[in-house]
Structure 1
């Protein structure tokens, strides 16, 4: 079984956002997969996907603070600044974290750890809606 779905995540403010439930709501076909893989590709260069803590929102706030220190906005020696001072730092963060995840599927559900969830890292001040291409492959129920 192979299925592919284009998902548009609603626009969010800059920061890290738990989007697991929003993604799953758009993937009812996951319930038909006994064993397989779900590949998620975020089709943007200034946002990211990562897997991390799904319970305590302070982790997401700490992620934002850490990555802002790692790739600060407004550095005078950045050459790429056509789309504003948040653009190049957003590209840095997206490259460091990545734009794709491959997740295991078991018995119609994501086989994540108890405290794991999918984060959208929105690295722009006004990034807008974000598109994710979800490809499910596996053995049907």
Structure 2
């Protein structure tokens, strides 16, 4: 599998590029240019919020199952690759949801960066105190 030596710039660039493509396809769907019969992305957008969010739930379940299979198989390369594939599907569908709600991966990165250096327990307690959980 890929090492952490890969630069975060490549990750940011890849996510931003894919988000740009998703946004372009969303806009093409809204303009009636992208046909849900020939474009999977347009098909997802045609299903609206509920359909997109349901798909994320399905992909999250598949990701969990692939992770459990990978662990059970002793993290074999084959099972790790299946897990990576499911995680990629989940991330893709999350990008669809972000676009549906007019958000970008950069919004998520900014949120995560804002949490750096904060204990997860403290961060969760702060959200709970603010009524966000």
Q: TM-score, normalised by structure 2?
A: 0.28
Considering only CA atoms, is the larger Rg found in Structure 1 or Structure 2?
2
Structure with higher strand content: 1
Q: TM-score, normalised by structure 1?
A: 0.27
Structure with higher helix content: 2
